[in-house]
Amino acid sequence: MAAGIVLTALGVEGVVAHAGSSHHLGWFYAAVLCGGIAAYLAGLLVFGWIAVKVWGPFRLAALILTLAWCPAAAALPPLAALGGVLVVLAAVGAAETWRYAELRRHVRT
Protein backbone atom coordinates (compact mmCIF):
# COMPACT_ATOMS: atom_id res chain seq x y z
CA MET A 1 0.00 0.00 0.00
CA ALA A 2 2.85 2.37 0.79
CA ALA A 3 4.44 1.78 -2.61
CA GLY A 4 1.12 2.55 -4.24
CA ILE A 5 0.93 5.87 -2.40
CA VAL A 6 4.46 6.80 -3.46
CA LEU A 7 3.85 5.84 -7.10
CA THR A 8 0.56 7.73 -7.16
CA ALA A 9 2.30 10.81 -5.75
CA LEU A 10 4.89 10.59 -8.52
CA GLY A 11 2.11 10.31 -11.11
CA VAL A 12 0.28 13.32 -9.67
CA GLU A 13 3.57 15.24 -9.70
CA GLY A 14 3.84 14.48 -13.42
CA VAL A 15 0.27 15.68 -13.95
CA VAL A 16 0.95 18.93 -12.09
CA ALA A 17 4.24 19.48 -13.92
CA HIS A 18 2.55 19.11 -17.32
CA ALA A 19 -0.88 20.54 -16.46
CA GLY A 20 -0.44 23.68 -18.55
CA SER A 21 0.70 21.72 -21.56
CA SER A 22 -1.60 20.62 -24.35
CA HIS A 23 0.54 17.51 -24.89
CA HIS A 24 -0.49 14.06 -23.70
CA LEU A 25 0.54 12.75 -20.29
CA GLY A 26 2.85 10.07 -21.66
CA TRP A 27 3.38 6.45 -20.78
CA PHE A 28 5.68 6.92 -17.81
CA TYR A 29 3.44 9.21 -15.78
CA ALA A 30 0.29 7.36 -16.85
CA ALA A 31 1.86 4.08 -15.74
CA VAL A 32 2.95 5.37 -12.34
CA LEU A 33 -0.36 7.16 -11.77
CA CYS A 34 -2.57 4.21 -12.69
CA GLY A 35 -0.10 1.62 -11.41
CA GLY A 36 0.22 3.38 -8.07
CA ILE A 37 -3.52 3.46 -7.57
CA ALA A 38 -3.76 -0.18 -8.67
CA ALA A 39 -1.00 -1.15 -6.23
CA TYR A 40 -2.78 0.64 -3.40
CA LEU A 41 -6.08 -1.06 -4.24
CA ALA A 42 -4.32 -4.43 -4.47
CA GLY A 43 -2.85 -3.81 -1.02
CA LEU A 44 -6.31 -3.03 0.34
CA LEU A 45 -7.66 -6.23 -1.22
CA VAL A 46 -4.88 -8.36 0.28
CA PHE A 47 -5.26 -6.68 3.66
CA GLY A 48 -9.02 -7.32 3.58
CA TRP A 49 -8.43 -10.97 2.76
CA ILE A 50 -5.86 -11.42 5.53
CA ALA A 51 -7.87 -9.52 8.15
CA VAL A 52 -11.41 -10.75 7.56
CA LYS A 53 -11.24 -13.21 4.63
CA VAL A 54 -13.34 -10.95 2.37
CA TRP A 55 -12.58 -9.65 -1.11
CA GLY A 56 -13.85 -6.16 -1.82
CA PRO A 57 -15.73 -6.47 -5.12
CA PHE A 58 -15.88 -2.71 -5.68
CA ARG A 59 -12.17 -2.33 -5.05
CA LEU A 60 -11.39 -5.22 -7.37
CA ALA A 61 -13.50 -3.59 -10.08
CA ALA A 62 -11.70 -0.28 -9.47
CA LEU A 63 -8.32 -2.00 -9.76
CA ILE A 64 -9.30 -3.50 -13.13
CA LEU A 65 -10.79 -0.22 -14.40
CA THR A 66 -7.71 1.74 -13.32
CA LEU A 67 -5.40 -0.64 -15.18
CA ALA A 68 -7.67 -0.51 -18.22
CA TRP A 69 -7.60 3.31 -18.08
CA CYS A 70 -3.79 3.44 -18.33
CA PRO A 71 -3.51 3.46 -22.17
CA ALA A 72 -6.17 6.16 -22.43
CA ALA A 73 -4.47 8.18 -19.69
CA ALA A 74 -1.20 8.10 -21.62
CA ALA A 75 -2.88 9.56 -24.70
CA LEU A 76 -4.97 12.22 -22.94
CA PRO A 77 -3.97 15.63 -21.57
CA PRO A 78 -2.67 15.39 -17.99
CA LEU A 79 -5.73 16.78 -16.21
CA ALA A 80 -8.09 14.55 -18.19
CA ALA A 81 -5.98 11.51 -17.29
CA LEU A 82 -6.12 12.43 -13.61
CA GLY A 83 -9.83 13.12 -13.89
CA GLY A 84 -10.43 9.62 -15.21
CA VAL A 85 -8.83 7.91 -12.24
CA LEU A 86 -10.61 10.28 -9.87
CA VAL A 87 -13.95 9.30 -11.39
CA VAL A 88 -13.14 5.61 -10.81
CA LEU A 89 -12.11 6.23 -7.19
CA ALA A 90 -15.13 8.44 -6.50
CA ALA A 91 -17.42 5.77 -7.93
CA VAL A 92 -15.87 3.16 -5.65
CA GLY A 93 -16.28 5.43 -2.65
CA ALA A 94 -19.92 6.09 -3.50
CA ALA A 95 -20.63 2.40 -4.16
CA GLU A 96 -19.06 1.29 -0.88
CA THR A 97 -20.87 4.03 1.04
CA TRP A 98 -24.19 2.90 -0.43
CA ARG A 99 -23.49 -0.84 -0.07
CA TYR A 100 -22.32 -0.76 3.53
CA ALA A 101 -24.71 1.91 4.88
CA GLU A 102 -26.84 -0.62 6.74
CA LEU A 103 -23.79 -2.32 8.26
CA ARG A 104 -22.46 1.03 9.50
CA ARG A 105 -25.86 1.88 10.94
CA HIS A 106 -25.95 -1.49 12.73
CA VAL A 107 -22.45 -1.04 14.17
CA ARG A 108 -23.30 2.45 15.50
CA THR A 109 -26.33 1.22 17.44
pLDDT > 90: percent of the chain: 79
Average pLDDT over residues 40-62: 92
Q: Which of 42, 39, 55, 28 is nearest to 6 (CA)?
A: 39
| Whole-number pLDDT of residue 56 | 87
Q: Which of 72, 91, 89 is nearest to 81 (CA)?
A: 72
pLDDT tens digits, 69-98 = 999 999 999 999 999 999 999 999 999 999
pLDDT above 90 for 54: no
Which range marks the domain in which residue 58 is found? 2-108
Quick one: pLDDT band at residue 55, thresholds 50, 70, 90? confident
Q: How many domains, in total, are found in the chain?
A: 1
Q: Which of 83, 92, 102, 27 is nearest to 63 (CA)?
A: 92
